[in-house]
Amino acid sequence: MAQQELDLAQFRRRLEEMRASTQDEIDGLQIANENQDTSYGVKNHPAEDATEVFDRERSLAIRAALERELEQMDRALERIEAGTYGVCEVGGEPIPAERLEARPAATLCIQHQRERDEFARDVPDPWV
């Protein structure tokens, strides 16, 4: 397989930096979610509970999204180790270097990424 020349050390460094800052964000969210067990011993009145639930659900949604990003970065890092970084997971074709520059965690070429996104959108909208 013809491998394109990629500066793997540079991509690994960028992915590790992205991973660390994403992990920091997740850790920050966990503090926001879990401090009610420690510092807030007194129960708030109902109006504030609703806001708390909303904030908590929002934080959980953000955390889930960040964790997905983290998984994606881990996958890209694994592929650097395995020597398959920069190769599309679906079709096996090289992912253009400029795509990897813009999105170091990408493991799909643009075409297959688009197909996957379209597949995800096939889930019917509830109001249709």
Where along the sequence are the contacts to Zn ion (CB under 5 A)? 88, 90-91, 109, 112
Contacts 24+ apart (CB under 8 A), 78-87: 79/107, 80/8, 80/11, 80/12, 80/15, 85/6, 85/8, 85/11, 86/3, 86/4, 86/6, 87/1, 87/3
CB of 107 vs Zn ion, minimal distance in Å: 10
Of 13 and 114, CB closest to Zn ion: 114
Of 35 and 111, CB closest to Zn ion: 111
Of 51 and 111, CB closest to Zn ion: 111
In the three-class reduction of DSSP (H, G, I as helix; E, B as strand; rest coil), residue 88 is classed as coil
